[in-house]
Structure 1
């Protein structure tokens, strides 16, 4: 399958930035609804009608302030949020017309502020309190920024060379270039947060040391590695996360001419997109059907538009290789049985249905393991994830947690992690004696439960489930 794209366009942001004229025209379409469903659909409660009105009146910097006040990672979320499932999915225009392009307007405003070199916030006077934040992904960055704005001294520890977590290493360039993630790390530094990279928390003794020198510790640990498939030849499989990281940092991806991607979640589609845009004939295999895919439907449609193929009800059983080179993926056909614990039909192998898919690259993207460090630290767990209460407190005194590492229920996403960081800062602010900005105590309901979403899409709510 030939890729007709010029190489310089293969790995750029998918959507171009809006021009000032385009942003003004789009902003003036907004009805500025009184009880705006888009606002209620945003996990971080950005005042969407207000920021759009500011764009419409030419106050673009003011629009950015409104966004960043509610979501310090507004530039990232403008690019990576599943807006079709959240704010734009709730837009009243969706029933009969195109919804307002909220994500692109948010990107326009936050990019404008960055281009002007404006710092949106200044920290409050020092409180004398110290907080250690472990992990510089969306939850850690959000918590650090909000705590610094309260005047607390924050040290942010990151085990990798660059800060930003998933935004830096794990989100495909088509959605977010690495420089966008890194400029948000820099924005946290500008608030006075000390960012320490190359420092990994590995033991309970190290956690106790942080507690001895800080008033509180915040954990934003993320998730673990891609789980093993447990099939012969697995050593020759590439990790989808590694492929995305290599592409993001402009390193060789190891993708050949014919790639098979195992999995059907959003990360699997990202890995397949990289392979396809690198010129590979790309096929995704999934042991269930299209109906059970964990990727958002719009991501599935995007993959189809990219020329990516799908083989459903297909279970890999062996990676074939000769002299260290992959030559194919042996699979079996699957049938669907009774529902399993996830509520989805259980895939069962069809006897005698073995077949081989010729390929030179196999990529696994079947989700991530639960945070193993939580056990080492002695934290109570909830289905393998860190257990937290409504104040984001863990079972250990003065230890808080947020982001994917606590996501035992609901959807793991950047925007939910940002909201966790805000909730942590509000909870800690009350304990440390600051006056934190009030944060909605509960997350908004899934937008797909909203009647306006049903009116626009004519479908019942669709429950997202973990990768697999």
Structure 2
């Protein structure tokens, strides 16, 4: 995927490479439901306004997703025709179209009379925004409650600006407001059931995974050990803490990669410690490549044991491990290879995964994720729905938007037949 924007000539050339497959696998593999072939066709025939409308109708966060979605693992990754030397750069074309609108001026949405509802959305991340926009387009009054002061969830709170410029998200949020969606910030909802007493007909929960998991090594609570989400939130506000010269990041997901890249760009020597091999890291390949390019270094098959140092952190004591073969139905074990060793560092960032802050008293699984009815977004409570990371445990922004859209359609169907 290109890092710079296509020019109009480059975009037209790239669009003309598309084979316009009859059963386009790229379109079938977008979790937000974007018809890649259709919007590329509009670029080919100079209908950029039409491309904008098509993209926003499919995915109200099309611009954000063009910047951050791992298209090599979804749409572009399925563009594998032997007639093409390289896959079509779908993200690059999508970014070109959405930047065209942002620079030219917002294409004002056609408003539908809001004569149904109201519906409450708890959480303003991708799932909540996807649900809110779809409900508004179906004629519902929608109010979104966000516990923080900024709308956007992870898009505005933790994803680094070098990956997703804030003005891109702000433009998309402004569009959603123009659809008629109302936002209430700095409002934490502890019990969504109480919203029914305020007249809301249905509630959608899309609060995501906002609590860091612990890595369980000795000294994790010491000064100089940072939780990744807290670190990224501070960095997003321009308040990167003093981390010293050498930083170790524990984890193998996209949050670990983001943390390491932010630390590296702050002038540190940064190393990621992951307990398995590189090909087993949950981080997407595009993000791994970006970290390597930034100069982040890696230790694989390493597990932290304890922090070293009295008055300040001097290192992290670790062991190298060899994992047993996987056996279905059994937890995979490992053997320790060799003695403990110390990796010198001045600070540690823990990115051992995330979990929900609360399940709101709804039926949930052992991991704390809200449980849904089969093939549905219904929770254990009538007219309370949920979607996004708080139900699936993590994924892309496009997937969360797609879940929010489908939940909105289900809410409309249920209320229409009630």
In 2 relative to 1, CA 339–36 (structure 1 residues): closer, same or farther, beyond 3 Å? same
| 1:190-241 Cα deviation digits (max 9, x unpaired) | 11111000001123xxx22202220001000101311122322212311222
Q: C-alpha separation between the residues in 2 aligned to 1:343 and 1:35?
A: 40
Following superposition of structure 1 onto structure 2, how do residues 99-110 of structure 1 map, counting pairs within 5 Å?
99-110=87-98
* Structure 2 gaps, min length 5: none
Indicate the residue corresponding to 1:414 in structure 2: 397
Indicate the residue corresponding to 2:380 in structure 1: 395
Of 117-126 and 42-51, more deviation after overlay is shown by 117-126
Indicate the residue corresponding to 1:250 in structure 2: 238
In 2 relative to 1, CA 58–404 (structure 1 residues): closer, same or farther, beyond 3 Å? same
Q: C-alpha separation between the residues in 1 aligned to 2:270 and 2:294?
A: 10
Is 1:431 aligned to 2:417, yes or no?
A: no
In 2 relative to 1, CA 32–338 (structure 1 residues): closer, same or farther, beyond 3 Å? closer
From 36, 40, 43, the equivalent of 2:31 is 43
Indicate the residue corresponding to 1:377 in structure 2: 361
In 2 relative to 1, CA 360–403 (structure 1 residues): closer, same or farther, beyond 3 Å? same
Q: CA deviation at 1:329?
A: 1.0
Indicate the residue corresponding to 2:169 in structure 1: 181
Q: C-alpha separation between the residues in 2 aligned to 1:76 and 1:182?
A: 10
Q: C-alpha separation between the residues in 1 aligned to 2:341 and 2:153?
A: 39
1:69 counterpart SS class: helix
Q: C-alpha separation between the residues in 2 aligned to 1:344 and 1:373?
A: 26
Indicate the residue corresponding to 1:357 in structure 2: 343
Indicate the residue corresponding to 2:4 in structure 1: 16
Q: C-alpha separation between the residues in 1 aligned to 2:118 and 2:366?
A: 28
Confirm or deny: 8 A CA contact 2:30 2:74 kept in the other structure.
yes
1:385 counterpart SS class: coil
Confirm or deny: 8 A CA contact 2:121 2:205 kept in the other structure.
yes
Moved over 4 A (4+): 93-96, 340-345
In 2 relative to 1, CA 41–433 (structure 1 residues): closer, same or farther, beyond 3 Å? same
Q: C-alpha separation between the residues in 2 aligned to 1:319 and 1:340?
A: 33
* Structure 1 gaps, min length 5: 1-12, 435-468
From 188, 212, 224, the equivalent of 1:226 is 212
Indicate the residue corresponding to 1:68 in structure 2: 56
Confirm or deny: 8 A CA contact 2:214 2:352 kept in the other structure.
no
In 2 relative to 1, CA 355–340 (structure 1 residues): closer, same or farther, beyond 3 Å? farther
Indicate the residue corresponding to 1:329 in structure 2: 316
Q: C-alpha separation between the residues in 2 aligned to 1:128 and 1:336?
A: 56
Q: C-alpha separation between the residues in 1 aligned to 2:242 and 2:354?
A: 21
Confirm or deny: 8 A CA contact 1:233 1:321 kept in the other structure.
no
Aligned residues: 413
TM-score relative to the length of structure 2: 0.93
Indicate the residue corresponding to 1:190 in structure 2: 178
Indicate the residue corresponding to 2:99 in structure 1: 111
Following superposition of structure 1 onto structure 2, how do residues 287-326 of structure 1 map, counting pairs within 5 Å?
287-323=275-311, 325-326=312-313
Q: C-alpha separation between the residues in 2 aligned to 1:192 and 1:92?
A: 41
Of 332-341 and 129-138, more deviation after overlay is shown by 332-341
CA RMSD of aligned residues (A): 2.2
In 2 relative to 1, CA 128–50 (structure 1 residues): closer, same or farther, beyond 3 Å? closer
1:172 counterpart SS class: coil
Q: C-alpha separation between the residues in 2 aligned to 1:291 and 1:15?
A: 24
2:319 counterpart SS class: strand
TM-score relative to the length of structure 1: 0.83
Q: C-alpha separation between the residues in 2 aligned to 1:179 and 1:33?
A: 34
Indicate the residue corresponding to 1:10 in structure 2: none
Q: CA deviation at 1:340?
A: 6.8
1:252 counterpart SS class: coil
| 1:172-202 Cα deviation digits (max 9, x unpaired) | 2232122222222222111111100000112
Q: CA deviation at 1:414?
A: 0.8
Q: CA deviation at 1:242?
A: 2.4
Indicate the residue corresponding to 2:352 in structure 1: 366
Q: C-alpha separation between the residues in 2 aligned to 1:297 and 1:254?
A: 29
Confirm or deny: 8 A CA contact 1:266 1:296 kept in the other structure.
yes
Confirm or deny: 8 A CA contact 1:320 1:328 kept in the other structure.
yes
Q: CA deviation at 1:253?
A: 4.0
Confirm or deny: 8 A CA contact 1:313 1:347 kept in the other structure.
no
Confirm or deny: 8 A CA contact 1:157 1:200 kept in the other structure.
yes
2:324 counterpart SS class: strand
Is 1:56 aligned to 2:44, yes or no?
A: yes
